[in-house]
């Protein structure tokens, strides 16, 4: 590596404000600087727009003999990576120098390039550079014949004979915290889990298990299933002859028609969902006891790096000490910031709402907002979605737009380009919402789903030298280790971590194995599958088409795509708006699959297997040379042949 422990090197990250890859690279390098302040400093060169960035990087050539990439590439003697630098076009552009001011405005601190030590590359190159830098303890098998850099950990002072109350204290009893605590206990560690649910602003409370079990994935999927069953009853059941008597068939002259939308009992659904959740809460407590993990129903905040002050449900304070701590407190919904915003509920409240939600406004274009809008419409409620900019930011743009079209097609109303400016209680107990475009409407329920914020404000992190990001209150870390070596972080509260339950679970287990089981294997956050349970389900893994084009260039990416009608929908005449879609985003030179995207039924089940293939580095030929299972929707990936560049019709035909 070019960086050495003897000198303080400067890592430069240049990009434009709205580029997610720039933000990601800057976040990771910032964490590196936090962990090794004596070795590294980060300087960010942030440009206000893509155009301004490209002018600096590339387009100055006509006036000054070269953009900044040419300054790097043509330096004499050439720094490592100079040839790659001269052809680099995407954001970010990262390099290493030997000296620089502590902060830099745009265009400053690069000088004439005389202090450049090494061109690092774009986002992926920078992340890999950081991994190699940290790989000071060897390599570990990935299980496919390849090896990956082991997770280098800063010594945290843990000793077998310490005098603290616990070897490991886990803050937060959600999916990640529970997984980490039980895994550590398997290796003989003395472990305690602190879990205390602070009520939502609307007063909702729940039990052990965290967001996923209580107010997230589990109740969401059950209510989504209620919508699917209702949709099948209306659009599919009669056309399969179910419930049709001979008299009904005779009266209809053999022509089937959709059913009327059935009555739906919110209280029955809510009650059964909550009963199921309470059963899971109980099982989690039993499981902790069987695994010999101490469960403490108390709220904790740091007094120092080895001590927490705790407060129980009766307000009684105490202290608990630990050798190591894992912060796994997750996040909470970001509230509406407008007059009357406290009248809105959030996803913390909707699944246990005791009154029928009635006419609903979902505020936000996040997957949480669209999922809630989808299942509420599916069970027969009047639903409107208020969208400030675009749907599903961060996901594939084409797929997000197709989801929006489908949702509009089934009767969900969208108000685009607006935010609520005021919420007011009406005399009949409803909520009047005024929008930024001057329009207004009245709703029974307003659901805010505009984002999530790390639940760190009352942890006393300043007592242990940890500074959460001001933008999202999340904690920077490298290999889940914070700037305070014996304090770790996993799950949604870790900055840059995908907000997905399986990610938190897997990261928690792998961290526990490193801390107490002798493992060196790092958590791999790349190529993680996810599914959005909108009315038209969306499964995805890897790069979106938009991100792949930005990262690798249009000339280096080929996209295969197809529209299809799932067989199970083909005899339902009013499913005309319900087309499935799949596409593969492929690197032209290597034929490696960069991303897979699927819209259709059972998206999660379809995408899970492809996630394994992506993790093993599959090529497009690997997929199309696989014999498909017929007739299935997953099979559509194995028959992809039409490229976007060809301009050919992407609609599937025949068997």
pLDDT in tens, 101-160: 444 333 444 445 567 777 888 988 888 888 777 754 344 444 444 555 677 788 999 999
Both tokens assigned to 620:
């497009």
CA distance 325 to 303: 13
With beta carbons less than 8 A apart as the criterion, state whether 479 and 497 touch. no
pLDDT score at 118:
79
Q: Terminus-to-terminus CA distance in the chain, angstroms?
A: 55
pLDDT of 329 above 90: yes
**Of the segments 3-17, 152-166, 310-324, which one has the largest average pLDDT value?**
310-324
User: Using 50, 70 and 90 to split pLDDT, how confident is the model at 81?
Assistant: low
pLDDT score at 35:
74
Both tokens assigned to 518:
């002798």
The residue annotated as part of the active site, out of 261, 276, 577, 630, is 630
In order of 55, 142, 418, the CA distances from 300 in angstroms are 50, 37, 39
User: Using 50, 70 and 90 to split pLDDT, how confident is the model at 2?
Assistant: very low
pLDDT of 270 above 50: yes
DSSP letter (8 states) at residue 498: -
pLDDT score at 654:
63
CA distance 546 to 50: 14
**Of the segments 20-24, 81-85, 128-132, 476-480, which one has the largest average pLDDT value?**
476-480
pTM of the predicted model over 0.85: no
Burial of 154 from C-beta contacts in 10 A (0-12 / 13-18 / 19+): middle
In order of 176, 210, 264, 560, the CA distances from 274 in angstroms are 22, 14, 17, 43
CA-nearest of 85, 84, 83, 54 to 69 is 85
CA distance 575 to 239: 11
Whole-number average pLDDT of the chain: 89
CA distance 57 to 69: 6
pLDDT score at 3:
36
Q: What is the pLDDT of residues 217-233, one digit of tens each?
A: 999 999 999 999 999 99
With beta carbons less than 8 A apart as the criterion, state whether 422 and 338 touch. yes
User: Using 50, 70 and 90 to split pLDDT, how confident is the model at 307?
Assistant: very high
CATH of domain 9-134: 3.40.30
Q: How far is CA 526 from the centre of its chain?
A: 12
Q: What is the pLDDT of residues 20-44, one digit of tens each?
A: 888 888 888 888 777 777 778 888 9
pLDDT score at 8:
65
Scored b (16 or more CB within 10 A) or e, 559-586 reads bbbbbbbbebbeebeebeebbbbbbbbb
Write phi, then psi, for 376 (nearest 5 degrees): -65, -40
Arch. (CATH architecture) of 341-452:
3-Layer(bba) Sandwich (3.50)
Alpha helices (H) along 464-602: 501-516, 545-552
Mean pLDDT of 157-178: 96
pLDDT score at 21:
87
User: Active-site residue 630, yes or no?
Assistant: yes
% of the chain beyond a pLDDT of 70: 90
DSSP letter (8 states) at residue 449: -
Residues in the chain: 655
Q: Scan for tokens 């699917």, then name that residue.
A: 228
pLDDT score at 578:
79
pLDDT score at 641:
96
Looking at per-residue pLDDT, the higher value among 174 and 39 belongs to 174
Write down the domain spans for the chain: 9-134, 341-452, 537-646
pLDDT of 66 above 90: no
Burial of 38 from C-beta contacts in 10 A (0-12 / 13-18 / 19+): exposed
CA-nearest of 111, 109, 94, 117 to 32 is 94
Q: How far is CA 129 from the centre of its chain?
A: 23
pLDDT of 83 above 90: no
Neighbours of 4 (CB within 10 A): 9
CA distance 33 to 652: 51
User: Using 50, 70 and 90 to split pLDDT, how confident is the model at 248?
Assistant: confident
Mean pLDDT of 438-455: 97
pLDDT score at 143:
43
User: Using 50, 70 and 90 to split pLDDT, how confident is the model at 352?
Assistant: very high
CATH 3.40.50.300 corresponds to the domain 537-646 = no
Alpha helices (H) along 12-122: 20-35, 50-54, 61-64, 68-73, 82-86
The mean-pLDDT minimum among 145-149, 183-187, 336-340 falls in 145-149
pLDDT score at 151:
77
């Amino acid at each position: 590596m070019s960086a050495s422990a003897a000198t303080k090197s400067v890592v430069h990250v240049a990009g434009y404000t709205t580029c997610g890859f720039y933000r990601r690279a800057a976040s990771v390098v910032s964490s590196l600087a936090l962990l090794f302040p004596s070795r590294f400093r980060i300087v960010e060169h942030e440009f206000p727009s893509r155009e301004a960035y490209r002018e600096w990087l590339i387009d100055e050539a006509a006036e000054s003999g070269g953009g900044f990439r040419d300054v790097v590439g043509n330096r004499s003697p050439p720094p490592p990576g100079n040839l790659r630098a001269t052809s680099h076009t995407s954001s970010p552009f990262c390099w290493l120098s030997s000296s620089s001011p502590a902060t830099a405005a745009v265009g400053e601190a690069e000088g004439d390039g005389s202090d450049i030590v090494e061109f690092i590359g774009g986002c992926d190159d920078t992340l890999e550079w950081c991994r190699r830098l940290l790989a000071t303890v060897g390599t570990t098998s990935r299980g496919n014949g390849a090896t990956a850099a082991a997770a280098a950990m800063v010594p945290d002072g843990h000793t077998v004979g310490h005098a603290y109350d616990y070897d490991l204290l886990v803050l937060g009893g959600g999916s990640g915290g529970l997984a980490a605590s039980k895994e550590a206990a398997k290796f003989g560690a003395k472990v305690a889990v602190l879990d205390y649910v602070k009520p939502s602003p609307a007063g909702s409370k729940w039990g052990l298990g965290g967001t996923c079990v209580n107010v997230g994935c589990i109740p969401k999927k059950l209510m989504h299933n209620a919508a699917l069953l209702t949709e099948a009853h209306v659009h599919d059941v009669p056309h399969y002859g179910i419930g049709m008597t001979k008299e009904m068939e005779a009266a209809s002259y053999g022509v089937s028609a959709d059913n009327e939308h059935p009555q739906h009992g919110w209280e029955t659904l809510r009650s059964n969902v909550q009963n199921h959740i309470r059963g899971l809460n109980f099982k989690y407590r039993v499981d902790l006891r069987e695994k010999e993990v101490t469960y403490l129903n108390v709220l904790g905040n740091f007094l120092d790096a080895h001590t927490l002050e705790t407060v129980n449900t009766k307000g009684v304070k105490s202290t608990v000490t630990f050798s190591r701590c894992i912060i796994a407190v997750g996040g909470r919904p970001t509230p509406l910031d407008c007059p009357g915003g406290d009248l809105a509920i959030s996803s913390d409240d909707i699944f246990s709402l005791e009154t029928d939600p009635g006419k609903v406004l979902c505020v936000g274009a996040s997957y949480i907002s669209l999922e809630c809008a989808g299942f509420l419409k599916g069970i027969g409620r009047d639903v409107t979605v208020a969208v400030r900019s675009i749907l599903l930011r961060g996901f594939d743009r084409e797929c997000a737009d197709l989801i929006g079209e489908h949702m509009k097609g089934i009767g969900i109303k969208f108000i685009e380009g607006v935010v609520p400016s005021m919420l007011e209680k009406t005399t009949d107990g409803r909520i009047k919402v005024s929008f930024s475009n001057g329009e207004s409407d009245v709703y029974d329920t307003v659901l805010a789903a505009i984002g999530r914020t790390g639940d760190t404000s009352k942890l006393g992190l300043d007592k242990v030298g940890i500074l959460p990001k001001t933008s999202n209150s999340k904690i920077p870390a490298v290999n889940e280790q914070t700037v305070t070596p014996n304090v770790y972080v996993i799950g949604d509260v870790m900055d840059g971590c995908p907000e997905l339950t399986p990610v938190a679970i897997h990261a928690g287990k792998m961290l526990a194995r490193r801390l107490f089981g002798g493992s060196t294997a790092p958590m791999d956050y790349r190529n993680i599958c996810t599914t959005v349970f909108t009315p038209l389900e969306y499964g995805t893994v890897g790069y979106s088409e938009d991100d792949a084009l930005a990262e690798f260039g249009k000339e280096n990416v080929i996209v295969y795509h197809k529209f299809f009608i799932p067989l199970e929908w083909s005899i339902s005449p009013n499913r005309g708006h319900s087309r499935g879609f799949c596409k593969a985003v492929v690197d032209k030179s290597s034929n490696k699959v960069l991303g897979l995207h699927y819209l259709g039924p059972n998206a999660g089940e379809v995408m899970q297997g492809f996630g394994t293939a992506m993790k093993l580095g599959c090529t497009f030929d690997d997929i199309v040379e696989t014999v498909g299972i017929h007739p299935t929707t997953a099979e559509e990936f194995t028959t992809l042949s039409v490229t976007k560049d060809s301009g050919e019709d992407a609609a599937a035909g025949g068997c």
